[in-house]
Amino acid sequence: MQQHDIHQFLKGYFQSTECSILEEGTGYLTVQLTIDQDKELMNRPFYWHYLEKVGGEPNPASLTFITNEQHAPQDIKGEKVHFGSPRLHQIFQATRRFGSAIRLYEANVARSTHNTALHPWLNMNVMVSYQCDHKRDYLLSLGIHLITGNIIEDFHELLKGQALTPKIPDFTFTLSPIIKPKSGFNRLHQYIEKHIYEDDHSWAEEAKERWKQDLDLLNHFYEDIEEKPSTYDIEKKALQDQYEPRISVNVVNGGIFYLQEGTVRTLLQRKMA
C-alpha cells in the first residue's frame, strides 16, 4: 500500500464518518473528530463517561496524520501513518464497523433553473496482497457507473479535492441505477480477478524456485535416513508455509457516490493531461 493510497483512504474514511477536514496538504491531513469517532479512536472512555455523567460540553479531539514524511512541512506535528502502523490498523478495524458501506453526494452543484441530476457510482476499495517469503500489498480503488457500466481505477484519487456530503444537496435529484448494486459488485469482482490474472507473477515463480532450493537442501540433509522423523515433516511444512505463493483480496470499504454527469469526465481528462 503506497503512501498516497493511505492518504486518500484516510480522507475518504473521515469524510464518510462526517468528520471535518480542517487542513490538507502534501503529505499530511488534519481532521476534527466527531463524538463517535473520538470514542472509537482516542481510547478515553473515562473522559466520556465523566462528561456524560455531569452533562459537560463535549470536546472531541482533532488529529493530524503525516502520510508522507518526506513531503510534509517540517513544522507539522502529528502521527506518522504507514502501512502496518497501529493507528492505520485501528482505522481499518473501525472501517469495518463504521464505514464499510457509505453513501455520499457531490456537494459542488451550481444552482440553475433546473435541478441537477446526480449519477450513481458504486465504489469498492480492496486490499490486494501478494505473499510468499516476501509480501506486497496495494490498494485498488474501483468505481463503476451504475448506468453505463464503465469502470475506472483510482476512484478515490480522482475524487481528491471534491466536496462530498452524506445529505443530498438542494436542487439535485438522483438517477435510478440501471445496473443494480449487486450486479455492479459482481462486475467489479470480475474486474479484480482479470486485473490480478494479467499482473506480473514472476514473484511467485521466484518464490517457488527458492522453495525448491531449500527443499532440496532439506532432503539432502535427511537422505541417509530411511525412516524420516517427525521433524522432517515439520520442517517441510514450514518451508511450504514460508514460500508457497498466496494471493488474498480483502474488501476495505465501499459505497455509492452520486456525482454530476460531467464530474468524472472532467476528472479523468485532468488526470490524463
Let me know if residue 76 belongs to a domain: yes
In the DSSP assignment, the letter for residue 21 is E
- Is 12 in the same domain as 90? yes
Find, among 130, 127, 250, 138, the residue nearest to 202 by Cα.
130
Helix ranges (DSSP H) in 108-180: 155-158
Q: Same structural domain for residues 91 and 125?
A: no
pLDDT band at 208 (very low <50, low <70, confident <90, very high): very high
DSSP state for residue 199 in the 8-state scheme: S
pLDDT at 9: 82
Residue 228 lies in a domain: no
Residue 26 dihedral angles phi and psi, to the nearest 5°: -65, 115
Residues 69 and 14 in one domain: yes
Inter-helix orientation angle 3-16/86-98, to 10°: 40
pLDDT for the residue numbered 212 = 96
Residue 223 has what pLDDT?
87
Using the predicted structure, report yes or no on whether residue 165 has a pLDDT greater than 50.
yes
Name the percent of the chain lying above pLDDT 70. 92
Whole-number pLDDT of residue 1:
54
Q: Cell numbers for 104, please give them.
A: 455520499
In a domain, 234, yes or no: no
Clarify whether residues 135 and 253 are in a common domain. yes
Please give the mean pLDDT across all residues of the chain.
87
Q: What DSSP line would sit under 212-270, residue for residue? A: HHHHHHHHHHTTT-SS--HHHHHHHHHHHHHHS-EEEEEEEEEEEEEEEHHHHHHHHHH
Tens digits of residue pLDDT in 110-139: 666 678 899 999 999 888 999 999 988 888
**Predicted TM-score (pTM) of this structure:** 0.65
Three-state DSSP state, 53: helix
Could you give the number of structural domains in the chain? 2
Domain that holds residue 187: 102-204+246-272
Q: Return the C-alpha cell found at 202.
A: 514472476
Q: Stretch 34-54: mean pLDDT, rounded?
A: 89
- 171 — alpha (psi -120 to 50), left (phi > 0) or beta? left
- pLDDT at position 270: 59
**Banded pLDDT at 69 (limits 50, 70, 90):** confident
Residues 95 and 109 in one domain: no
Is 138 found in the same domain as 43?
Answer: no
Whether 129 and 77 share a structural domain: no
85 and 17 both lie in a single domain:
yes
Of 37 and 8, the one with more pLDDT: 37
Phi–psi pair at 93, nearest 5 degrees: -65, -40
Residue 138 within any structural domain of the chain: yes
160 in a domain, yes or no?
Answer: yes
- The answer as to whether 143 is a domain residue is yes
Say if residue 213's pLDDT is above 90: yes
Quick one: residue 168, left, alpha or beta (phi over 0 = left, psi -120 to 50 = alpha)? beta
Q: pLDDT digits over 220-250, tens only? A: 999 888 888 999 999 999 999 999 999 999 8
Residues 4-21, mean pLDDT to the nearest whole number: 83
Q: Does residue 114 sit in the same domain as residue 31?
A: no
Q: End of a domain among 99, 125, 159?
A: 99
pLDDT for position 273: 43
pLDDT of residue 162: 79
On whether residue 213 sits in a domain, the answer given is no
Determine the average pLDDT of the residues in 166-193.
92
Structural domain contains residue 109: yes
Could you tell me if 257 and 191 lie in one domain?
A: yes
Per-residue pLDDT, averaged over 73-96, amounts to 85
Q: If you write DSSP's letter for every residue of 94-128 in order, what string do you get?
A: HHHHHSSEEEEEE------SSPEEEEEEEEEEEEE
Q: In sequence order, what are the residues at sequence separation of 6 or more whose Cβ sits closer than 8 angstroms to the Cβ of residue 251? A: 100, 124, 125, 126
DSSP 75: T
Q: Which of 99, 129, 159 is the last residue in one of the domains?
A: 99
Please say which residue of 65, 99, 133 terminates a domain.
99
